[in-house]
Amino acid sequence: MKDVLAKIKTEMGPNALILSTREVKDNSYGTLTKPMIEVTAAVDYDAQLPSQALPSLKPLEKHIPSIHTDSSDIHSITSGITELGSMMRRLLKHSGVEQPLNPTREALISQGIKASLVDMMISKLGENTQTGTIKGLLTKLIKTSTPTQSKIWAFFGSTGVGKTTTIAKIAANAALRENQSVGIISLDTYRIGAIEQGRTYSKILNIPFAAAGSVDEFRSALDQLHQKDIILVDTVGRSPLNSNIIDQLQNYFAGMSLCKFLLLPVAIREIEMERTTKTFSSLGIDRVIFTKLDEAMTHGSIITHNLLYRIPLTYITTGQRVPEDIEEADAAKIVALCFGDKS
Ligand SMILES: Nc1nc2c(ncn2[C@@H]2O[C@H](COP(=O)(O)OP(=O)(O)O)[C@@H](O)[C@H]2O)c(=O)[nH]1
Ligand SMILES: [Mg+2]
């Protein structure tokens, strides 16, 4: 160790120190291992004179990268801030810290209306705005509309959302109440039983029904039904997260004039609502139908969707009964539902 220290002092100077020593095995000679000592040394330095031992620091970079923003960044930042704000308010509420809450705001958010939309309305109308004023504004803002002029109506949406049932309701009402001639074409040849379900409804309603498994079959079914007042097209029941479906559907409807409905269940989370709407929007959605109102605890999704995407709402379905459980969308009724008004 004395020899080693001497070696260190010659190599590293008089301030060198031994930090640690340890025995290591050298296996480079196979079984004939001989013990070795590993010594870690360092040069001590005067803390008052750091420049002695430390390399000089580079001057700080003067260049500050410029920040590019566009309106979508700003939009997401603002909505992020609003959501943070609402989260903090809730946290404060739960932790018992006194915080003056706006009851109207809380009521709307608890109904499932997106917080940033509620805050936008409240900032427009003032913090002390009355419930009636907000109701009035919402009723004016909600877009509803009858279907477009086209006589072919196609129905899109996730599996199980209620496409086939809604088509049966619309077909029954058109045929029985409005005395219109109706035809149904189903493209849902994927799921076992899907065609049977459509065929059964058509039989009961005495409406011609065709199943089409290819674009050619679809075109010839349309030709057969061309004299009908309305042709309702049921589409595949697979996940909207599978984007191949959208490409396939594009092929079926390319260059055709039709009214395209997107169906969404009222009890949908914002994340699925956004994803489904964005996915199907590439088909060019004309109208929205909210389904299964009867199964939902809150109804704010209808307002959130309508205010965010501005696609007019045509129908709301309210149960499994065909043809009774469907209503034309009415803005005042939707607002009343969201405020828990009994009607
Ligand atoms: N509670 C309730 N159930 C519904 C409504 N609409 C459809 N359903 C039910 O939801 C299930 C799936 O409906 P279906 O029309 O086959 O969905 P599709 O896969 O989109 O064609 C069926 O059991 C329907 O009876 C509704 O408004 N309320
Ligand atoms: Mg179906």
Distance (Å, whole) CA 22 – CA 24: 6
CA of 207 to the centre of ligand 1 (A): 20
Task: Verify whether ligand 1 is closer than 6 Å to residue 136 (CB atom).
Answer: no
- Domains of the chain in sequence order: 2-45 (no CATH), 101-137 (no CATH), 152-338 (3.40.50.300)
Q: Is the CB of 265 under 6 A from ligand 1?
A: no
pLDDT in tens, 282-317: 999 999 999 999 999 999 999 999 999 999 999 999
> Per-residue pLDDT for 212 more than 90?
yes
Beta carbons within 8 Å of 139's beta carbon, 6+ residues apart: 331, 332, 335
Does the Cβ of 291 fall within 6 Å of ligand 1?
yes
Which residues, 6+ apart, have CB-to-CB distance to 265 below 8 Å? Answer: 161, 162, 290, 291, 292, 295, 296
pLDDT score for 57? 45
CA pair distance 298, 337, nearest whole angstrom: 8
DSSP conformational letter for 293: G
**Alpha-carbon distances of 301 from 257, 264, 275, 294, 326, rounded to whole Å:** 29, 9, 14, 14, 18
What is each CA distance from 181 to 153, 171, 205, 208, 321, in whole angstroms? 14, 9, 11, 10, 22
Residue nearest atom 13 in ligand 1 by C-alpha distance = 162
DSSP, collapsed to helix, strand or coil, labels residue 290 as strand
| Per-residue CA distances from 333 to 35, 109, 153, 302 (Å) | 88, 18, 25, 11
Burial code (b: 16+ CB inside 10 Å, e: under 16) for 248-260 equals: ebeebbeeeebbb
The predicted-structure confidence for 175-206, as pLDDT tens digits, reads as follows 998 999 999 999 987 777 778 888 888 888 89
| 201: helix, strand or coil | helix
- Give residue-wise pLDDT tens across range 3-12: 888 888 888 8
